[in-house]
Amino acid sequence: MTDPLAPFRPATRAWFQGAFPAPTAVQERGWARIARGDHTLMLAPTGSGKTLAAFLYCLDRLSAPAEEGAERPAGVRALYVSPLKALVYDVERNLRAPLAGIQRAAEGLGEPVRPLRVAVRTGDTPQRERARFKRRPSEILVTTPESLYLLLSSQARQTLQTVEWVIVDEIHAVAASKRGAHLALSLERLTQLCVSEQGREPQRIGLSATQRPLEAVARYLGGERQVAIVDASAPPRIDLRIEVPVADMEAPFADEEDDDLEGALVPYPKDERPGPTRNGIWELIHPRLLELIQSHRSTLVFVNSRLLCERLAQSLNELAEEELVKAHHGSLAHHKRAEIEEELKRGELRGLVATSSLELGIDMGAIDLVLLVESPGAVSRGLQRVGRAGHAVGEVSKSRLFPKYKGDLVEAAVCAQGMLAGEIETLRVPRRCLDVLAQHVASMVSQRDWPLDELEQVIRRTHAYRDLPGEALSGVLDMLSGRYPSDAFADLRPLITWDRDKDLLTARRGTRSVVTLNPGTIPDRGTYGVHLVSGSGGPEGPRIGELDEEMVYESRRGETFVLGASSWRVLEITRDRVIVEPAPGEPGKLPFWRGAGPGRPIELGRALGAFLRELAAQPPGQARGWLTDLLPLDERAATNLADYVAAQRAATGVVPSDRTIVIERFRDELGDWRVCLLSPFGARIHAAWGLALEARFVRQAGFTAQTIWSDDGVVLRLAETESVDELPDLVPSPGEVEDLIVDQLAHSAMFQATFRECAARALLLPRRGYGKRRPLWAQRIKAETLLAAASQFPDFPIVLEAYRECLQDVLDLPAFQELLTQIERREVEVVEVETERASPFARSLTFAYVAAFMYQADAPLAEWRAQALRLDRDLLRELLGSDELRQLLDPEVLAELEDELQRRSESRRARHPDALHDLLRQVGDLSEAELGERCAEDPAPWLRELEGARRVVPLRVAGERRWVAIEDVARYRDGLGCVPPGGLPTVFLEPVEDALEGLVLRYARTHGPFTALELGARFALEERATSPLLAGLVERGRLVVGAMRPAGVGEEHCDPEVLRKLRRRTLARLRRQVAPVEAAALARFLVRWHGLGSERRGLTRLREVISQLEGVPLPFSALEEEILPARVPDYRPQLLDELGQRGEVVWVGVSSLGARDGKVRLLTRARAHLLLDEPDPDYAPPSELHARLLTHLEQRGASFFVELQQVAGASVSAESLSEALLDLAWAGRVSNDGFQPLRALRRRRVRKKRALRGPSAPIGGRWVAVRSLRFGEPNPL
């Protein structure tokens, strides 16, 4: 038998034999393959030493001293790539033992040994370490796929040209997504770099504990190369049990009359949950989890969402009354996660509550127990999580699984069955991802010029792009080089230049920064970084984690929230981050994050269906025993599962399975019909089914059905439908389903979001600029505009990629078509039932319905936008029919906008040749003099450079020499009859449809309102040619026509978007004129406005002051003693009396302020009827005297006091009459032509031991009813 350690030097053998009893199977077989130089894929259980199997031979070779005269050049020799940053740091720590051990063994044996250094490169690596690595690279580099891409996209790529081994760990975690296609291209670029420098390819080594089929993963790893497969897999060694802490999961407190089904199914926090105060099944799960954690030294608790992770950690700590566990998930910063991990390893924490952040092969030390709260959703995911316990050779992994509700229990049982048997799901590798290809092409070209054939060879060496159609590659290159199918794309920024004569690809200015600022394939979910406030007074300190954009929008300064089981207070919210300070001990709201799960794999769905079929077939009374014999269920779990299936069979007569699909109809609590398609096949198939049904309902029934899908089926809610008997067939045929889904996809939120993410990956819509991130809402707006243009061109690469991703990666169209074929062949039966209420299976499915519509951020906005534009145009047509718009639009705004559209403004001028090329693409033909107005310096040298590169050409347009972008040559030829120069590439001479229309529309987009004569003069067109063209464009809504330009004459045309910009900017300018100011500025203004300290005097000044104060209720005492004297330097009461006697000014009472004062309004006679309030219809005079006085004044008009005494009668004293008149005055019913009655109040004295008394003398002046002032009657005075 061959010694497995034979390939190694004595020092390496000595260290290994001293550290381990014997090699594992994967090490024995893997070392042999690696030593032979084979590209190798290794599969082995968790904890079997895969990482050492991959690394040890590399360490052995690298630690050997170089032969004399053969000193190795500086550079990386062994490159390790991990999908998780945490695993990168973990591997770096784990390499310290063999490196130190081999060196000590060599010293003991007297062997020479080369010391090796290990470097780490992730997004968290400080800049100084990056610079040091570039100057003096380490022999071993551990990194992530994205950091490898960035290294290849920078000058530091030279450190990688010496790589001899590439190790891809947890390869299954990247291969099944676009990250895998991205990494495959990076590996090919690395290979090309190494071959060009050292003449040989690096050896590729792939590692995983869960990968099937191995042949597909090997093809992914090697591309066009042969890969040796080392399958050292073995049946999992796990101690797994499913526990349910209650007899009935749907009624956990039935004995307490608290049948809280909703609480059992939806985990509300205690302070937010409606209805009963019990917290459903969670109140029973939490104590059992706590008991298990406290009875073990270290525990990992896995959940499927970050929200539940934070919530569960908080609940467990509250129950334990100490900080027993902490939350660990991807939204925590790396250093926070590392701190938490170390606390667990040191024994300071008893457990962690984690998501997939701890799922892969991270060494968490001696984990005794893994708790799974809810089904892991896939057998492979469950094995990865359970494998964290007993993470060593030969150890048994102990785990307990707690389902959340009965539907979750079904999936958990089937997952457990698959985990015990090691039946992991099939991995599918995405192929021909055009957005990833575009990103890598831009990155490659940013480093050097690439001949097209050489670049294509590198791309086609990967398995993902081996059979990429040639037209697809050309489409991507056209897109990147700015050869767009329409002027609607003109705002996009080309990243490369494609010289068609030489087939040479070169970078444009700024491409490298776009590439390095927007790496990778992980989509932007709209997260804000959370940073600790700086202790040095700066704006921010270390990064703590991240929050979802939606949550940030709902947060305010001073609020507290929980992150990583710690409380934080919000101090500031900036454009892309939240600044916080610790808030220890304070309660905080739980954060939430949006994100879609991966969906149930089809293999798990089929296994689940078969399990349900077999369980439903068990005789009554035997199901529970059958379950406990087959699966690791406790008694209550088996009882709940058996009862759940029995209740479903009782409700519908049949149970959904791999051979039966149930269509259930019932009315919901609002009386609307709901239809549930109950099926076990998973969300990827159900999403396709839901989209097909939405399309069919629109086509055949003429209305829209609301649908939502999950792993357990599809729900349709049919409002305004009396009967479901006439609904379209809910089972489409296999032949029509693809057309239905493709048609419906364009209107779905799924397609909108996918298109945005694809455009960002392809660098069409960069997520980041210099030093800042573009908010997600801004990305959505840009993506919506781009999609509106791109949707007209089905062969646009990003449209194609969005459809491909939706149909192949998000949906599982082939599996759905296969299912429909089985239904057509009667291999799968469809059973329709109608129930009075939702069955148990349907009940758990419909709970997902409400949650699905809480946030529809990517809902399609195209229809809403079109509606808005139609409304806008209708309003514009009314406005444009007159000359009013000429006065509404600001001429300065128009001039600024035209300079901006024409690129004459300083900020938009061209500053380099690439910008000059963009200028001609966006604005169109320009003479050299016109170019001079639009360039920051003399454009002549740039024109010569661009002409030499065949990127611009001169043409005779309208009798003069103008420059045009080469992409526009055919358009000027077909639209205006311009003669192109000879020798241009054929691709730029293809016929252009509606060429003249395109030129006119571009002219409109880059100008303000223009006349037909101006357009004709620009292109030397006769009116008979332009008039029908402009009329047609107006009819189709592409242009608007009317009187628009200030000081213009005649009819003008304008692009609708330009007119909208004019309107918005004019409004913005007007709003700025009335924008709020600081309080100090207001105070300064008020002093000037009211003329405090003014030197103007006399009646003229008093009239001005009264016009300012007119109608304002003010105390009369303040008016005469403070307000008027402060504004009129020579004020004296006689001036006010004079205005009153002339009939210019009147006063009206508002309210009494005690016995000696009251509030009055000063009014000018001319405006009194406009400023007086409507009389109170419920007013009733307080006495007969008041009523007689008011009636007299309203009927007879103005009266002196003596006349009113006669009306009152001899029995009424003058004092009583005066009091009654003042009562009517304060009620706003009467007034006086003078101000003596108001001044008389001020002369009242409080007499000792006597009540206040009225004036002893009659009140002078004439009294009048205020009614005469209100209705604008002639002056009664």
- Looking at residue 713, its amino acid is G
pLDDT at 582 over 80: yes
State the average pLDDT for the chain.
85
Q: Both 256 and 214 in a single domain?
A: no
Burial 357-391 (b: 16+ CB within 10 A, else e): bbbbbbbbeebbbbbbbbbbbbbbbbbbbbbbbbb
State how far the Cα of 192 lies from the Cα of 199, in Å rounded to an integer. Answer: 9
In a domain, 1044, yes or no: no
Report DSSP state, residue 1021: -
Q: Both 664 and 647 in a single domain?
A: yes
Report DSSP state, residue 201: P
| pLDDT band, residue 87 (cuts 50/70/90) | confident
Sequence-ordered strand ranges (E) for 1218-1261? 1230-1232
pLDDT at 876 over 60: no
In a domain, 109, yes or no: yes
Q: Which spans in 75-177 are helix H? A: 85-94, 96-109, 127-135, 145-152, 172-175
**Nearest CA to 1001 among 1268, 789, 1249?**
789
Q: Both 370 and 280 in a single domain?
A: yes
| pLDDT band, residue 867 (cuts 50/70/90) | very low
* Separation of first and last alpha carbons in the chain: 130
In a domain, 1019, yes or no: no
Q: Both 544 and 506 in a single domain?
A: no
SS3 track for 584-602: CCCCCECCCCCCCCCCCCH
Q: Both 242 and 209 in a single domain?
A: no
| pLDDT band, residue 855 (cuts 50/70/90) | very low
pLDDT at 1122 over 60: yes
Choose one of 196, 212, 231: the last residue of a domain: 231
| Distance (Å) of CA 569 to CA 534, 572, 910 | 14, 9, 46
**What value does the CA radius of gyration of the chain take, rounded to a whole number of Å?**
41
| pLDDT band, residue 530 (cuts 50/70/90) | confident
The count of residues in the chain is: 1277
| pLDDT band, residue 826 (cuts 50/70/90) | very high
| Distance (Å) of CA 135 to CA 74, 155, 239, 816 | 10, 11, 50, 54
Q: What are the tens digits of pLDDT across the range 263-273?
A: 333 333 333 33
Contact 559, 590 (CB under 8 A): no
| Contacts for 1180 with CB less than 8 Å, ≥ 6 apart | none
> Which region among 153-167, 400-414, 1142-1156 has the lowest average model confidence (pLDDT)?
1142-1156
DSSP string, 603-624: HHHHHHHHHHHHHHTSPTTTHH
Contact 463, 771 (CB under 8 A): no
Contact 573, 555 (CB under 8 A): yes
pLDDT at 655 over 90: yes
At 140, is the secondary structure helix, strand, or coil?
Answer: strand
Q: Both 68 and 135 in a single domain?
A: yes
In a domain, 31, yes or no: yes
> Which region among 659-663, 969-973, 1239-1243 has the lowest average model confidence (pLDDT)?
1239-1243
**pLDDT of amino acid 669:** 63
| pLDDT band, residue 151 (cuts 50/70/90) | very high
Q: Both 682 and 783 in a single domain?
A: yes
Q: Look at 179 and 848; give whichever has higher pLDDT.
A: 179
Q: Both 533 and 467 in a single domain?
A: no
Q: Which residue has the tokens 């009335």?
A: 1074
Apex CA 686: angle with CA 685 and CA 690, to 5°? 125
DSSP string, 399-418: EEEE-SSHHHHHHHHHHHHH
In a domain, 1275, yes or no: no
DSSP string, 169-191: -STHHHHTSHHHHHHHHHHHHHH
**Both tokens of residue 550?**
């939606």
Q: What are the tens digits of pLDDT across the range 348-385?
A: 999 999 988 777 656 666 788 999 999 999 998 898 89
| pLDDT band, residue 1085 (cuts 50/70/90) | confident
State how far the Cα of 196 lies from the Cα of 444, in Å rounded to an integer. Answer: 15
**Mean pLDDT of all residues in 1160-1186:** 87
Quickly count: other Cβ atoms within 10 Å of residue 172's Cβ: 23
* CATH code for the domain in which residue 218 is found: 3.40.50.300
Choose one of 192, 214, 231: the last residue of a domain: 231
**pLDDT of amino acid 882:** 45
State how far the Cα of 385 lies from the Cα of 415, in Å rounded to an integer. Answer: 12
State which residues form the domain around 566.
Answer: 527-582
Quickly count: other Cβ atoms within 10 Å of residue 1035's Cβ: 10
Q: Both 226 and 243 in a single domain?
A: no
| pLDDT band, residue 769 (cuts 50/70/90) | low
Q: What are the tens digits of pLDDT across the range 1248-1269?
A: 334 444 444 456 788 999 888 7
Strands across the sheet containing 673-678? 706-710, 713-718, 673-678, 660-667, 829-834
Kindly tell me the burial class for residue 721, based on how many C-beta atoms sit within 10 Å of its own C-beta (0-12, 13-18, 19 or more). Answer: middle
Q: Look at 1190 and 394; give whichever has higher pLDDT.
A: 1190
State how far the Cα of 594 lies from the Cα of 307, in Å rounded to an integer. Answer: 9
Q: Look at 697 and 1103; give whichever has higher pLDDT.
A: 1103
User: Which range scores top for mean pLDDT: 229-233, 330-334, 364-368?
Assistant: 229-233
Choose one of 231, 259, 285: the last residue of a domain: 231
In a domain, 893, yes or no: no
**Both tokens of residue 1091?**
């003329």
At 509, is the secondary structure helix, strand, or coil?
Answer: coil
Contact 752, 784 (CB under 8 A): yes
**pLDDT of amino acid 199:** 87
| Contacts for 1051 with CB less than 8 Å, ≥ 6 apart | 1011, 1012, 1041, 1042, 1043
Q: What are the tens digits of pLDDT across the range 39-49?
A: 999 998 877 88
Q: Both 620 and 480 in a single domain?
A: no
How many structural domains is the chain composed of?
A: 6
Burial 1182-1208 (b: 16+ CB within 10 A, else e): eeebbebbbebbeeebbbebeebbebb
At 50, is the secondary structure helix, strand, or coil?
Answer: helix
- Report CA dihedral (1225, 1228, 1231, 1234) to the nearest 10 degrees: 80
State how far the Cα of 218 lies from the Cα of 223, in Å rounded to an integer. Answer: 8
Contact 101, 19 (CB under 8 A): yes
pLDDT at 400 over 50: yes
pLDDT at 1072 over 80: no
In a domain, 914, yes or no: no
| Beta-bridge mates of residue 531 | 543, 579
**Mean pLDDT of all residues in 198-206:** 93
DSSP string, 799-861: HHHHHHIIIIIIS-HHHHHHHHHHHHTTSSEEEEEE-SS--HHHHHHHHHHHHHTS--TT---
**pLDDT of amino acid 542:** 74
**Both tokens of residue 562?**
């929980």
In a domain, 710, yes or no: yes
Q: Both 85 and 149 in a single domain?
A: yes
pLDDT at 879 over 50: no
At 208, is the secondary structure helix, strand, or coil?
Answer: strand
Strands across the sheet containing 299-302? 238-242, 397-402, 369-373, 299-302, 351-354, 325-328
Q: Both 792 and 775 in a single domain?
A: yes
Contact 475, 795 (CB under 8 A): yes
| Distance (Å) of CA 3 to CA 27, 72, 352, 866 | 12, 30, 42, 74
State how far the Cα of 984 lies from the Cα of 962, in Å rounded to an integer. Answer: 17
Q: Which residue has the tokens 């009494």?
A: 1152
Contact 563, 554 (CB under 8 A): no
pLDDT at 274 over 60: no
User: What is the CB-side half-sphere exposure of residue 486 using CA atoms within 13 A?
Assistant: 16
| Beta-bridge mates of residue 1231 | 1264
pLDDT at 861 over 90: no
